[in-house]
Amino acid sequence: MLEFIFNSKIKIKVLRTLVETDEIYFNDLRRKINSGAGSLKKVIDFFYEKNIIELKRIGKRKLLISLNNNYKELLKKIFEIEKDFIKTYRKI
């Protein structure tokens, strides 16, 4: 359902992971969603430009990613609705 809105499964995986965790390092996120660094960076840049996520540099190489608080509650509700929709759809 959300694939139609975001037009990418990796974007949905990133958002789901960020809703579940308060903040996560780039490499940990990459390993958790099993994605390449280049495609993940592109998604992170997209969300950063839209002010959906916040980035914190820690040293030269570490990047800490967190979801903007305004979006966290909204996305949590959207994912719950999608989960309920899928359960209902499978029963039919």
> pLDDT of 17-40, one tens digit each?
999 998 999 999 999 999 999 999
Q: Is the pLDDT of residue 65 over 70?
A: yes
Helix (H, G, I), strand (E, B) or coil at 62: strand
pLDDT of residue 41: 94
| Residue 29: how many other CB atoms lie within 10 Å | 21
Give the range of the structural domain holding residue 83, as residue numbers without chain letter: 2-91
pLDDT of residue 1: 61
**CATH number of the domain encompassing residue 66:** 1.10.10.10
- The whole-model pTM stands at 0.82
**80-83 CB contacts, 8 Å cutoff, 24+ apart:** 82/1, 82/2
Number of domains in the chain: 1
pLDDT of residue 83: 84
Tell me the pLDDT tens digit for each residue of 46-61. Answer: 999 999 999 999 988 8
